[in-house]
């Protein structure tokens, strides 16, 4: 299949764009594979890609119950960052950041990673200390971080209320210059196309309805398109983790599914050039290349598998964006939507072998799965291929709760809705 490039665009334009081929095949499932990845979202597709690209395992199927990228990969606010506090998180997300920086080339697909910076605003001396602690942790781990004064922030982000009379005046901000945004759907499509080119079967409209087992050992899955056997079955189904595990007989698991809403305004000319987050509440916003302000806030705060939220959260989010940018009050909300988050008990993911032999698990991404996509796929593929974790996902086990080794970035403890 042809490489994508300016030249190929030109060539195809001359022939009326009639020669473009499908970005990926639409194969029927084979009776068996070396590895089945359940979940054709960002993480599942990335896992399949790295299995093929890094480990030469190409006899792989990705099973997706709907259309590829129909989960949170296509519903998020597109932020990519590695501005974490704890060493385990820093190591993981910085690894991901490095993959991001070369991802368009690696996939031969422009994922539009725009390293425009992520700025976290602090609104009290205590919060500033906490952010500086985080920024310093980043710098000690070799990750870029800067502290900006309110004056520097006012210059960098016009329109932001940096006045002293603000209800929660900005006292400073933590900037990660290498962080930014990417085109969310392109990640799914880029990984899908690259995995497909290496022989991976991407099978849409194929829902897993049960697991095939020999004793405890998982030996395949039954699906709406028949039984498919595999030596290894890997789960990357985010908000559906509990539902799928229940089909394997695991009734209780350290995940709750919650709905998170996201919002986009009408398109306007360039308004804000970096990602900005509000510290006196919970709000993150950036501007898409099309011009819409893309933003989100907290969860709706109740268990949900519906991809739709309710009005109180909408109103909270709108209040906060107006507090940050008083001129945004005049702009209009174009669309809102919801995604189902796999909220874990400490806010950190689980990427591990188990919990049954032959099964591999990737879940617990809370709000943060998008930026993790490359590292998640990379380390999950490693774990599946080698039956041992990569250094970056070694701490993200299921047994960490038993040991008391939670990786709790926010310090909220085992209350999933608060992470």
Partner 1 sequence: MLIDCPHCGPRDLAEFSYQGDATRTRPDLASTDTKAWLDYVYHRPNPAGRHREFWQHAGGCRAHLVVERDTLTHEIFTVSFARKTSGGDAA
Partner 2 sequence: MSPRRSTSGGLIDRTRTVRFTFDGENLSGHAGDTLASALLANGVSLMGRSFKYHRPRGVFSAGVDEPNALVTLLRGGVREPNIPATQIEIYDGLRAESQNRFPSLAWDLGAVNQLGGRLIGAGFYYKTFMGPVIGPLKGTRFWMMCEHFIRRAAGLGRADYEADPSRYERVNAFCDVLVVGGGIAGLMAAEAAAKAGKRVILAEQEPVTGGFARWSGETNEGKQAHEWASNLTARLASLDNVRLLTRTAVWGYYDGNTLAALERVHDHVARTPKGHPRQRHWTIRATDVVLATGALERPIVFPGNDRPGVMLAGAARRYAAEFGILPGNRTIFFTNNDSAYEAAATIKRAGGHVAAIVDVRARISSAASELATAAGVSPLTGHAIVGTKCGKTLSRVFVQAYDAASGTLSGDARPLECDSLAVSGGWQPVLHLASQAGAKPVWDEEKQAFLPPEPTQRWAGAGAFLGTFGTVDALGSGRDAGLKCAGKRPSRGKLPEIAPEPLDLTPAPVLEIRGKGKAFVDFQHDVIADDVRLAHREGFVSVEHLKRYTTLGMATDQGKTSNVPGLAIMAAARGITIPEAGTTRFRPPYSPVAIGAMAAERYGDLKPERYTPIHDWHVDHGAEMTPAGLWHRPLVYAAAGETVEQAYIREAAAVRRSVGIVDVSTLGKIAVKGPDAATFLDRVYTNTFSTLKVGKARYGLMLREDGIAFDDGTTWRLGETDFLMTTTTANAGAVMQHLEYCLDILWPELKVHLTSVTDQWAGAAIAGPKARAVLERCVTGTRVDNETLPFMGIVHGEIEGAPVMICRLSFSGELAYEVYCAAGYGTLIWEALMEAGEPFDITPYGMEALGALRIEKGHVTGAEIDGRTTARDLYLDWMLSKKKPFIGSGLMDRPALIDKNRLRLVGVISLDGQKLGGGAHLVERGTPDEPGESIGHVTAFCYSPALQKYIGLALVRGGKARHGTRAYLSDPLRKRFGQVEIVSHHLFDPDGERMHG
Query: Which residues of the chain form contacts with partner 1 (CB under 8 A)?
Result: 240, 242-243, 246, 251-257, 301-306, 310-312, 345, 401-402, 414-417
| 1 versus 415: smaller Cβ distance to partner 1 | 415
- Hey, how many other C-beta atoms are within 10 angstroms of the C-beta on 236? 31
Q: Does 83 bind partner 2 (CB under 8 A)?
A: no
126: partner contacted, choices partner 2, partner 1, none (Cβ within 5-8 A by kind): partner 2
Minimum distance between the CB of residue 186 and partner 2, rounded to whole angstroms?
Answer: 6
CA atoms of 207 and 225, how far apart (whole Å): 8
Helix (H, G, I), strand (E, B) or coil at 60: strand
From candidates 71, 74, 254, 368, binder to partner 2 by CB under 8 A: 74
Q: Please say which residue, 226 or 413, places its beta carbon nearer to partner 2.
A: 413
Residue count of the chain:
419
Give the residue ranges of DSSP H helices in 103-220. 103-107, 125-140, 150-156, 184-197
x/- string (CB under 8 A) for partner 2, residues 122-141?
-xxxx-xxxxxxxxxx-xx-
Comparing CB distances to partner 2, the nearer of 212 and 418 is 418
290 binds, among partner 1, partner 2, none (CB under 5 to 8 A by kind): partner 2
Torsion sign, CA atoms 23, 28, 29, 30: negative
Binder of residue 277, out of partner 2, partner 1, none (CB less than 5 to 8 A by kind): none
Distance of CA 327 to the CA centre of its chain: 30
* SS3 assignment, position 45: helix
Alpha-carbon radius of gyration of the chain: 21
**Least Å from the CB of residue 277 to partner 2:** 15
**Selected binder of partner 2 within 1, 30, 105, 305 (CB under 8 A):** 105
User: Within 10 Å of residue 243's Cβ, how many Cβ atoms?
Assistant: 12
Where b means 16+ CB within 10 Å and e means fewer, 58-86 reads: bbbbbbbbeebbbbbbbbbbbbbbbbbbb
**Residue 257 interaction partner, one of partner 2, partner 1, none, beta carbon < 5-8 Å per kind:** partner 1
Nearer of residues 250 and 322 to partner 2, judged by Cβ: 322
The answer to whether the CB of 310 falls within 8 A of the CB of 300 is: yes
- Is residue 155 near partner 2 by the rule CB under 8 A? no
Q: How many CB atoms lie within 10 A of CB 164?
A: 7
345 φ, ψ (degrees, to nearest 5): -80, -15
User: Of the listed pieces 14-22, 43-51, 226-234, 354-362, which binds partner 2 according to CB under 8 A?
Assistant: 14-22
| 45 vs 230, beta carbon nearer partner 2 | 45
> Which x/- pattern, by CB under 8 A, does the window 209-248 give for partner 2?
----------------------------------------
Query: Residue 17 touches which of partner 2, partner 1, none (CB < 5 to 8 A by kind)?
Result: partner 2
When asked if residue 321 is in the footprint of partner 2 (CB under 8 A), the reply is: yes
Q: Give the closest residue to 355 by CA, choosing from 258, 269, 242.
A: 242
Interface residues for partner 2 in 241-280 (CB under 8 A)? 265-271, 280
Nearest approach, Cβ of residue 77 and partner 1 (Å): 23
Paired tokens of 16: 């009326």
Q: Which is nearer to partner 1, 215 or 404 (CB)?
A: 404
Q: How far is the CB of 243 from partner 1 (least distance, A)?
A: 5
Residues 356-385 that bind partner 2 (CB under 8 A): none
Instruction: Say how far apart CA 359 and CA 371 lie, in whole Å.
Output: 25
Kind of pairing between the strands at 172-176 and 146-148: antiparallel
Our finding on whether 6 is near partner 2 (CB under 8 A) is yes
152 interface partner picked from partner 2, partner 1, none, CB below 5 to 8 A per type: none
For residue 88, the partner it binds in partner 2, partner 1, none, with Cβ less than 5 to 8 A by kind, is none
**Contact positions with partner 2 (CB under 8 A) in 15-54:** 16-18, 20-24, 26
d(CA 90, CA 92): 5
How do strand 180-181 and strand 32-38 relate by DSSP bridges? unpaired
Q: How far apart are CA 258 and CA 238, in angstroms?
A: 11
Could you say which of partner 2, partner 1, none residue 301 binds, taking C-beta under 5 to 8 angstroms by partner kind? partner 1
Residues 337, 75 contacting (CB under 8 angstroms): yes
**Residue 124 interacts with which of partner 1, partner 2, none, CB < 5 to 8 Å by class:** partner 2
User: Of the candidates 32, 58, 108, 222, which one interacts with partner 2 according to CB under 8 A?
Assistant: 108
Maximum Cα interatomic distance, the chain, rounded to a whole number of Å? 67
């Amino acid at each position: 299949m042809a490489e994508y490039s300016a030249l190929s665009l030109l060539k195809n334009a001359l022939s009326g764009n009639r020669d473009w081929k499908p970005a990926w095949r639409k194969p029927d499932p084979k009776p068996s594979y070396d590895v089945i990845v359940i979940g054709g979202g960002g993480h599942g597709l990335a896992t399949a890609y790295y299995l093929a690209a890094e480990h030469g395992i190409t006899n792989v199927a990705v099973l997706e119950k709907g259309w590829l990228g129909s989960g949170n990969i296509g519903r998020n606010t597109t932020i990519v960052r590695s501005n974490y506090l704890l060493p385990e998180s820093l190591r993981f997300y910085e690894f991901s950041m490095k993959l991001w920086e070369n991802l368009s080339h690696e996939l031969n697909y422009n994922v539009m990673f725009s390293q425009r910076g992520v700025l976290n605003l602090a609104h009290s001396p205590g919060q500033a200390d906490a952010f500086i602690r985080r920024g310093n942790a980043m710098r000690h781990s070799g990750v870029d971080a800067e502290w900006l004064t309110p004056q520097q922030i006012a210059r960098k982000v016009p329109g932001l209320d940096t006045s002293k009379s603000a209800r929660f005046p900005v006292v400073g901000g933590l900037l990660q210059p290498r962080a930014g945004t990417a085109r969310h759907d392109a990640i799914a499509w880029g990984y899908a196309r690259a995995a497909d080119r290496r022989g991976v079967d991407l099978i849409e409209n194929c829902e897993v309805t049960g697991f095939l087992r020999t004793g405890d050992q998982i030996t395949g899955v039954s699906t709406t398109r028949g039984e498919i056997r595999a030596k290894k079955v890997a789960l990357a189904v985010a908000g559906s983790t509990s539902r799928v595990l229940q089909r394997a007989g695991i009734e209780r698991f350290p995940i709750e599914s919650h709905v998170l809403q996201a919002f986009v305004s009408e398109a306007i000319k360039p308004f804000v050039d970096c990602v900005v987050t509000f510290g006196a509440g919970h709000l993150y916003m950036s501007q898409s290349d099309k011009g819409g302000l893309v933003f989100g806030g907290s969860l709706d705060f109740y268990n949900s598998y519906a991809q739709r939220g309710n009005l109180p959260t909408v109103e909270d989010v709108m209040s906060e964006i107006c507090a940050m940018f008083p001129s945004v009050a005049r702009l209009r909300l174009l669309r809102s939507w919801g995604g189902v988050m796999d909220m874990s008990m400490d806010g950190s993911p689980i990427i591990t072998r188990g919990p049954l032999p032959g099964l591999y698990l990737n879940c617990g991404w809370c709000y943060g799965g998008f930026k993790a996509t490359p590292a998640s796929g990379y380390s999950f593929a490693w774990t599946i291929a080698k039956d041992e974790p990569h250094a970056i996902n070694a701490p993200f086990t299921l047994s960490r709760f038993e040991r008391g080794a939670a990786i709790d970035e926010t310090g909220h403890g085992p209350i999933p809705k608060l992470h």
